[in-house]
Structure 1
């Protein structure tokens, strides 16, 4: 009996040891240092100086994996005027299989063309209303195989840094989220958002296509009334890769219904990122299109030139509001670990490409003119 019991113990120990054998932990550390030159048509002093060249961002990326559980985090240090330090993303994940993944934490919202619905350094117009490369706090499940990609997610809220009963949303964040306005009149925050994205992949010859739809619905909690409104966004999107050519096309409709105090209208609300909020129309439809073409070269360390043009149009539902436009023509120069974006960005009623900061994406400016920003961003990635 003792011999049989000992044999049973040895068998259990053998299988237990193999089942829970420790794999070697994997850790990768990377990052980037970027500098930026810009010359803006609406800044007289800057034009007199011939533009400004300065520090953009230093970032640290960390990836780790142990026993099938993964970590992915990116922390960025911008200048104080652009929000200072902020966590772009930070999640813990698990791969159930090569096609199925779960992420928990500050993770990218599965909406529209991801990772980016644009090619340039400025992103597209959707980014500035929180609908491109947005990251929120929640849980996301993704399936991605040869023919289908779909994702479902629940986000409790955007990045929460203050945790007070009625604390304003912090302006130090990478992606745009509903927030409080600079004058304190609009005070909302995102809560309990659900996302669903489905995309079909197919190929023809040397071309690869991805056609999809996205939807999100969530709450808007007002810090003054303590009531919860709602918001939704839907999008249809298409991406083509054919050799060195890439095309991104998307149409997006969104509407936000905050429960503001009775003396405030609901035609606009505040959003924030990079240290400063502005107002955004509460309902609009956006249209974006962005072709790009890559040209391999052998010019010393330069190995590739990607030429692109990203166009965005924001049609606001309020007929009294002026529509917003954004167009960026440029080239991405790849030289070893150095990536340089050379962009000519033009905008009309756009806060980052023109003087109308607070109301550019909300009421806008009657008879607004097109403004131009020439921008060069140089980054070493390691």
Structure 2
């Protein structure tokens, strides 16, 4: 274990031990009820229709409708020890099979829990900083619904929620001394990329030894509830070519409001990557990958997001509820000659029994999933690029 690893691992253990005097009190032990073993199996089957303005062939066909994902969820619990796993099967072109999350947990009591495995990173608004099927622009740079391999302690009470976590690395499928990460993953992580199409990978970095902390203050009245929070992370960035350790860090402030039929999510997040790569390799960009493919991302940026949702109960059998929403995101890249990125999704979620349908009008500017440029969109971008549109319907049966 190197010095970098040891320092943050010991810091994590110290933080845990600070809480264990309360968590492991004899009274709390006696209050934990012995449970009967439980097992829950669920999942979803989803299909997707999309019509994209930058795809001429698709426009002539009137869009495409096909398979999205089949997922399997397993939850188990016995005497305070829990299992939570979700495995997803996408098409081969979107990465194929992948584990979204998979962790073991122990409940010390109703307020304190420790999770070990592939667990959600406690950063920003969780579980999602968005209302739509597309997530927010944070997701595409690894700052929304990210899952990494490590250990996380979390506390929840009526006023305060806080989490502290140590992640050894992102999802690791290749355990060689000089192995690049697999592109088949659910959440975006730092990766390698074939930048010039010669079949060899460049910008070969890995996230390692990451420490996260998140604090939420909850308050409200009879008709509303609010959460104000701050998040931070700091970790290493190991370069496979130079075998040197760079670093990366991120901070966020966030606010959530739930006022009956209306809810809002607002967040400002700043991140910076400092790779220590080979001579001649730019440190203004890093590569990130998910769903079977990699692209470039600006090494430093501030991201502003705001989402608003409005719930409407209806009695249009089989539809029982409609949620109208708008999610906006702006990625302000620090590098002055990089073009900023934008994303806006206006849509509705229809609930009909176990069927959930997202109908989204998604617009993007310098966005890899919402435009014709893939590798450079979230990095230097394209000067003079306009907005591209995608009409998307995602239909899923959840069981």
Could you say which residue in structure 2 is the equivalent of 1:104? Answer: 116
Match of 2:249 in 1: 232
Pick one of 207, 210, 215 that aligns with 2:224: 207
Rounded to whole Å, the distance in 2 between the matches of 1:138 and 1:351 is: 29
* Counterpart in the other structure of 2:130: 118
- Residue matched to 1:5: none
Counterparts in 2 of 1:21 and 1:296: CA distance versus 1, 3 Å: closer
The answer to whether the 8 A contact 1:182-1:278 is kept is no
Cross-structure match for 1:219: 236
What is the match of residue 9 of structure 1?
none
2:44 corresponds to: 32
Aligned partners of 1:85, 1:319: CA distance in 2, in Å?
Answer: 39
Report what 2:378 is aligned to: 361
Verify: 1:50 aligned to 2:62, yes or no. Answer: yes
Q: CA separation in 2, counterparts of 1:313 and 1:205?
A: 34
Q: Using structure 1 for the length normalisation, give the TM-score.
A: 0.94
2:304 is paired with a residue whose SS is: strand
- Offset, 1:182: 2.6
2:260 is matched with 243
Q: Offset at 1:23?
A: 4.5
Are 1:95 and 2:107 an aligned pair?
Answer: yes
Aligned residues of 1:113 and 1:237 also touching (Cα < 8 A)? yes
Within 5 A, what are the aligned runs for 1:223-302? 223-302=240-319
Cα displacement (A) at 1:205: 3.6
Does residue 140 of the first structure (1) align with residue 141 of the second (2)?
no
Specify the alignment match of 2:333 in structure 1. Answer: 316
Deviations 1:41-61 (A, max 9, x none): 000000000000000000000
Match of 1:181 in 2: 193
Q: Name which one, 1 or 2, has greater alpha-carbon Rg.
A: 1
Q: CA deviation at 1:21?
A: 11
Give the conservation status (yes or no) of the 8 Å contact 1:110–1:197: yes
Structure-2 separation of matches of 1:20 and 1:112: 31
What CA distance in whole angstroms lies between the structure 2 residues aligned with 1:253 and 1:39?
Answer: 32
State the SS of the aligned residue for 2:83.
strand
Mapped to 2, the partners of 1:330 and 1:269 lie a distance apart of 32
CA distance in 1, matches of 2:79, 2:109: 13
Sort the Cα spacing of 1:355 and 1:24 in 2 relative to 1 into closer, same or farther, 3 A: same
Q: Which residue of 2 aligns with 1:14?
A: none
Is 2:164 the partner of 1:164? no
What is the TM-score when the length of structure 2 is the normalising length? 0.90
C-alpha distance in 2, partners of 1:317/1:228?
Answer: 23
Give distance in 2, aligned partners of 1:68 and 1:300. 40
Deviations 1:335-363 (A, max 9, x none): 00000000000000000000110000000
The 4+ residue runs of structure 1 with deviation greater than 6 A are: 18-22
Q: How far 1:97 sits from its partner (Å)?
A: 1.1
Distance 1:260 1:20 in 2: 51
CA–CA distance in structure 2, aligned partners of residues 356 and 126 of structure 1: 18
Partners of 1:35 and 1:97 in 2: CA distance:
40
Give, in whole Å, the separation in 2 of the partners of 1:182 and 1:248. 36
Alpha carbons 2:32, 2:109 under 8 Å: kept: no
| Cα distance in 1 for residues equivalent to 2:278 and 2:261 | 52
The root-mean-square deviation of aligned C-alpha atoms, in Å, is 1.4
Question: Per-residue displacement from partner, 1:236-261 (whole Å, max 9, x unpaired)?
Answer: 00000000110000000000000010
User: What is the DSSP-based 3-state SS (H/G/I as helix, E as strand, rest coil) of the residue aligned with 2:108?
Assistant: strand
Q: In 2, distance between residues paired with 1:26 and 1:307?
A: 36
Aligned partners of 1:20 and 1:327: how far apart in 2?
Answer: 46
2:27 maps to: none
Alpha-carbon distance, 1:19 to partner? 12
Equivalent residue, structure 2, for 1:152: 164
Q: Deviations over 1:136-191 (max 9, x none)?
A: 00000011111011000000000000111111110000000000013312100100
C-alpha spacing 1:24/1:238, structure 2 compared with 1 (3 Å): same
Deviation, structure 1 residue 303: 0.4
**Number of residues paired by the alignment?**
365
